[in-house]
A and B are shown apart, each in its own frame.
Chain A
Amino acid sequence: EPEVTQTPSHQVTQMGQEVILRCVPISNHLYFYWYRQILGQKVEFLVSFYNNEISEKSEIFDDQFSVERPDGSNFTLKIRSTKLEDSAMYFCASRDTEAFFGQGTRLTVV
C-alpha cells in the first residue's frame, strides 16, 4: 500500500538553528500539506501546496517557515531560527480524494 514517508523520525536541534523536514508524498497525489502537533495539543494545519505554490497557510506559518518541492518526489518544510516553542510533531500529508499522513518527525529544540 502506498504511503507518505517522512525523514528524519526525530530531529534535535539547537535554538536558532535551521532545520529541514523531508517528506515523500504518494506518487500520484497533487495536493500536499504540513501539520504540526505540540505535545498534548490538537493537530494544527500549517500550509497546503498545489501546483508548485502555496494554496493556503495558517497564521502559524509565518516568515520563519517555508515549503518547497525541489524535485518530483520530495516535499520539504524549512524552519529558520528555531525556537523552543517549535518543538512538536510535524506531519506531512498528501491527498487525492482523501488525505494520507506520514508518521511524523518529532522536532525537539533545545
Chain B
Amino acid sequence: DAKTTQPTSMDCAEGRAANLPCNHSTISGNEYVYWYRQIHSQGPQYIIHGLKNNETNEMASLIITEDRKSSTLILPHATLRDTAVYYCIVRVGNNFNKFYFGSGTKLNVKP
C-alpha cells in the first residue's frame, strides 16, 4: 500500500469548514483513498473513501486531485464533536487485509 503523509495537527473554529490534507504521491491506479477518524480512545470510525472522483456523504467530502497524488477531506461545518485524530489510508480496493494506521492528523475544533 502507498505511503501517506499528513500534518501532525490542525486547528479549526467551530462552524467553519475543516480541510484535512493528505499526500500519497506513490499511489497506484488501483489504490483507493480511505479516511477514518478516532475520537479519544474509541474504535476508528469510517468516514469516506474514493478512487479518483470526488465523493460526498453525510459526514464529509473527499476531494482527490486529478493526478491522485493528494487528497483533502472536508468537514463542511466542524463541531466540537469532530475533534479527533483523522487517518488517511491508501490501499488496493480488493485487498481485504490489514489497514495500516499511521500517526494521522489531530484536528482540534475550538469554540
Residues on A lying within 8 angstroms of B by beta carbon are 4, 31, 33, 35, 37, 42-45, 48, 50, 55-56, 58, 89, 91, 93, 95, 97-104, 106
Q: Is the CB of B96 within 8 A of A101?
A: no
Q: Is the CB of A48 within 8 A of B45?
A: no
In the assembled complex, the Cα of A101 lies from the Cα of B46 at a distance in Å of 8
Question: Quick one: which of B46, B98, B101 has the most chain A CB within 10 A?
Answer: B98
Q: Is the CB of B101 within 8 A of A43?
A: yes
Mind listing 28 A-B residue pairs with CB under 8 Å? A4-B43, A35-B101, A37-B41, A42-B103, A43-B44, A45-B98, A48-B97, A55-B96, A55-B97, A56-B97, A58-B98, A89-B41, A91-B43, A91-B44, A95-B96, A98-B49, A99-B46, A99-B99, A100-B46, A101-B43, A101-B44, A101-B45, A102-B43, A103-B42, A104-B41, A104-B42, A104-B43, A106-B41
Question: Quick one: which of B42, B99, B103 has the most chain A CB within 10 A?
Answer: B99
Closest Cβ of chain A to B64, distance in Å, is 16
Q: Is the CB of B101 within 8 A of A42?
A: yes
Which of A31, A35, A37, A102 contacts B96, CB < 8 Å? A31
Chain A residues lying within 8 Å of B42, measured Cβ to Cβ, are: 103-104
The number of chain B residues with a CB under 8 A from chain A is: 18
In the assembled complex, the Cα of A93 lies from the Cα of B44 at a distance in Å of 9
Q: Do most interface residues of chain B lie in helix, strand or loop, or is the interface mixed?
A: loop
- Taken residue by residue from 37 to 52, chain B's Cβ proximity to chain A (1 for < 8 Å, 0 otherwise) reads as 0100111111001000
Given that A43-B38, A98-B34, A98-B49 are contacting pairs, would A103 and B100 also be in contact in the complex, using a CB cutoff of 8 Å? no
Closest Cβ of chain A to B96, distance in Å, is 5
Chain B residues lying within 8 Å of A50, measured Cβ to Cβ, are: 96
Q: Is the CB of B43 within 8 A of A103?
A: yes
Residue of B nearest to A104 (CB): B43
Of all A-B residue pairs in the complex, the 5 with the closest CB atoms, nearest first, are A101-B43, A45-B98, A43-B101, A56-B97, A31-B96
Closest Cβ of chain B to A102, distance in Å, is 5
